[in-house]
Chains A and B, each alone.
Chain A
Amino acid sequence: MIYILYLFFFGFLLTAVIGLFGSWIDRKLTARLQYRVGPPLLQPLFDILKLLKKETLVPFGASKATFLAAPMIGLVSVMVVSTVLWVNNVDSQNTFMGDLIVVVYFLLVPSISIIMGGFASGNPLASLGASRELKLILSYELPFILAVLVAVIHADFSLRLGDILATQAKNGVIAVSWSGGLALLITMICMQGKLALVPFDTPEAETEIAHGVLIEYSGPLLAVYRLMKNMLFFALPFFIIIIYLGGLRGHGLHLLYGALEYVGIVALITVIRNTNPRLRIDQVLRFFWGPMTVLAIIAVLLALGNY
């Protein structure tokens, strides 16, 4: 019963609320950077509520079951990820061995669900976007996992998030070490890819393929995707905070620090996405497999040498 509470209260509700707030920060900051006013605080929520009221259209020629199921799979996987993260953060000894693998694996599923939805909709632009998303995953996943490995090495090769948190509580946060800082940087950039934001928003490229993968989605299904993205907007920074910055602690000054860390990460994402043009997919692949992977390997070597 306690797990169901975690799943709905922490995994869904709290993550969604903070994620919507994060996406508001993103939109407001973007607007200020561009000399605009920006939306009111509740706008991300209103957007989703509006979409929920609209009609669901399933395109002619689409594979119906997959088309309808894909957004749900994505949403549920984000819920699972954030539940595991919250459980670790709240009660770090009450977890299981290897939950880091589960988190890394489930963080991939939203992208997979977008690919499923894109291919299922039977639209040429959507399948183009889906194939780009596939290439995007292939690009960022290698440096991402290498960077996560740095945290594992710091926690004495433990694959438990609880142990990573415990190590940081004892020895200070991982991010202040050389390897940890480098890994944090790499993970941040990979996160930009996971969130499909500029410069890595090739699968959705509005002006090229008209939102590619999501082109055929409308109404509640699109709302689910939007909600999934907004929740991911919290879950991914939260993951970074846990493995490199010692997690969020819910009392006194720590709460303020945690909030500042999150807002800082969101602001960084926003600044990156507003000061770059979109890369081509082959350039993305070259960027991640080239400099990023080399940096990630250096970070792992540094971590092994206890730096």
Chain B
Amino acid sequence: MPRTIIPIGPYHPLQEEPEFFILTVEGETVVDIDLRMGYNHRGIEKLCERQAYDQVTFVVERVCGICSTSHPFAYTQAVEDILSVEAPPRARYIRTITAEGERIHSHLLWLGLAGHFLGYNTIFMWCWKLREEILDVMEILSGNRNNYAMFKVGGVWRDIKAEDIPTVLKKIDSIIPTLEKLKKAVMDDPVLHARTKGIGILSKEAAINYCALGPTARASGIARDIRKNCPYGAYAEIDWEMIVAQNGDVFDKVVVRINELFESIKIIKACLTRLPQGEIDCGIEDIPPGEGIGHIEAPRGECFHYVRSDGTNRPVRHKIRAPTFMNLPTFKETVIGGSIPDAAIILAAIDPCYCCTERMAVLNRKGEKLFTGEDLIKLSQEKTEKIKSKMGRK
């Protein structure tokens, strides 16, 4: 059978970010997949090395619009690791509340998008409407809808006011019935079952071999969640459950995320009711030389930050590993053998976030660089010319 290439990207209505999947297909069956990245590289790590420690939290907040808490969370943990200090209890609770609020809006966003990818736009709109409620809650707590600017090395910037807590609790309680309805609509729809069950199965072994993270791994039966395995923030002091499913197909990824929504609500409510009194900042002034790591459970999986300090007021090295980086290669396992309509939803099922993941490699040969910035621009221009002449246009 003749093979054709079906391009998904670099600009494609499937996913909002620029990424490029090259699907090799025979008829409608996908036989191979290749991935091109780097359309959205912004050099955040390098930027961080030019900022003071307190400024870096704001830079990493902008790594991703959705995980705008995960990255500062992991970063502050890394710097606190250098200092071997822990944020005060109240600050840890506030951090946890912010992180879980982010998880709820991120999962709702994904659920809506998954509906959209399947042509079920009603689910899309309902989820995003529900998400607005959570964004309102976050606005009450932090003053911002998306980039909360709460995190600070050694604590948080803003306290939660006691008079806001009843309002927030009421608002969160009010979304639970809608969420239950949504869960029922998604879990009981036979047509949705037909589209997602048994599709894009990532077996437990494959998930381990590919080092899958977060909900992607938990849907394949791997009980791993940084919040449980390596507790940080207030997670150790609060009662909650890790959601694990066994089949590893798209439906189980949906199930894991929907159930995590309810756990997140539970955590936020527990945190708000048990919010300890005290300082919100431990007043860190100087960062000694050394290195530290911080890892937290972002909505998409483990988010990992490494920071090295040389005693000055800015990090000499800051390394970020976003969860999508580990989840992307699982496409080799899940997409191949399926059909194109399945590929569309499987590609979305890991909840990819490409701009978090973007990275570039600089080739070094005995200390001298093969390409400089100008060389790369020239290469890109030459390629454009080549494509133009190939298409018969001058």
Docked CA distance A6–B195 (Å): 46
Residues of B within 8 A of A (CB-CB), count: 35
B341 touches A205 (CB 8 A): yes
Residue B384, interface by CB 8 Å: no
A34 touches B121 (CB 8 A): yes
Which residues of chain A from 98 to 139 have a CB within 8 Å of any chain B CB? 124-125, 128
- A34, A205, A208, A282 interface centre (most CB from chain B within 10 Å): A208
A280 touches B126 (CB 8 A): no
Residue B194, interface by CB 8 Å: yes
A199 touches B191 (CB 8 A): yes
A199 touches B119 (CB 8 A): yes
Docked CA distance A124–B6 (Å): 7
A277 touches B6 (CB 8 A): no
Which chain B positions have C-beta within 8 A of A128?
6, 28, 340
- Known A34-B126, A124-B4; judge A206-B13 contact (CB<8 A): yes
Residue A306, interface by CB 8 Å: no
A277 touches B28 (CB 8 A): no
B192 touches A208 (CB 8 A): no
Residue A209, interface by CB 8 Å: yes
Cβ of A42 to closest chain B Cβ, rounded Å? 23
B14 touches A207 (CB 8 A): yes
B28 touches A34 (CB 8 A): no
- Known A60-B391, A60-B392; judge A280-B341 contact (CB<8 A): yes
Docked CA distance A210–B115 (Å): 16
Cβ of A104 to closest chain B Cβ, rounded Å? 28
Which chain B positions have C-beta within 8 A of A283?
194-195
A277 touches B125 (CB 8 A): no
Main SS at interface, chain A: loop
Interface size for chain A: under 10, 10 to 19, 20 to 34, or 35 or more residues? 20 to 34
Residue of A nearest to B193 (CB): A277
- Known A124-B5, A198-B120, A201-B119; judge A277-B192 contact (CB<8 A): yes
Docked CA distance A1–B129 (Å): 56
Which residues of chain B from 166 to 197 have a CB within 8 Å of any chain A CB? 189, 191-192, 194-195
User: When each residue 192-233 of chain A gets 1 if its CB lies under 8 Å from chain B and 0 otherwise, what string results?
Assistant: 000000110110011111110000000000000000000000
B126 touches A207 (CB 8 A): no
- A125, A206, A276, A279 interface centre (most CB from chain B within 10 Å): A276
A36 touches B125 (CB 8 A): yes
Docked CA distance A304–B12 (Å): 51
A277 touches B344 (CB 8 A): no
Residue B118, interface by CB 8 Å: yes
Residue of A nearest to B132 (CB): A35
A33 touches B344 (CB 8 A): no
Residue of A nearest to B130 (CB): A35
Which chain A positions have C-beta within 8 A of B121?
30, 34, 198, 274
Residue A281, interface by CB 8 Å: yes
User: When each residue 244-284 of chain B gets 1 if its CB lies under 8 Å from chain A and 0 otherwise, what string results?
Assistant: 00000000000000000000000000000000000000000
Q: List 18 A-B contacts (CB under 8 A).
A: A34-B121, A36-B125, A128-B6, A202-B341, A205-B119, A206-B13, A207-B14, A207-B344, A208-B341, A208-B343, A208-B344, A274-B122, A276-B120, A277-B120, A277-B123, A278-B195, A279-B191, A283-B195
Using CB atoms and an 8 Å cutoff, list the residues of chain B in contact with chain A: 4-7, 12-14, 28, 115-126, 129, 189, 191-192, 194-195, 339-344, 391-393
Question: Knowing that A210-B13, A277-B195, A280-B342 are A-B contacts, what are 14 other residue pairs whose CB atoms are under 8 Å apart, sorted by A's residue number?
Answer: A30-B121, A33-B122, A34-B125, A125-B7, A128-B6, A198-B119, A202-B341, A207-B119, A208-B343, A209-B6, A210-B12, A277-B118, A279-B191, A279-B195
Using CB atoms and an 8 Å cutoff, list the residues of chain A in contact with chain B: 30, 33-36, 60, 124-125, 128, 198-199, 201-202, 205-211, 274-283
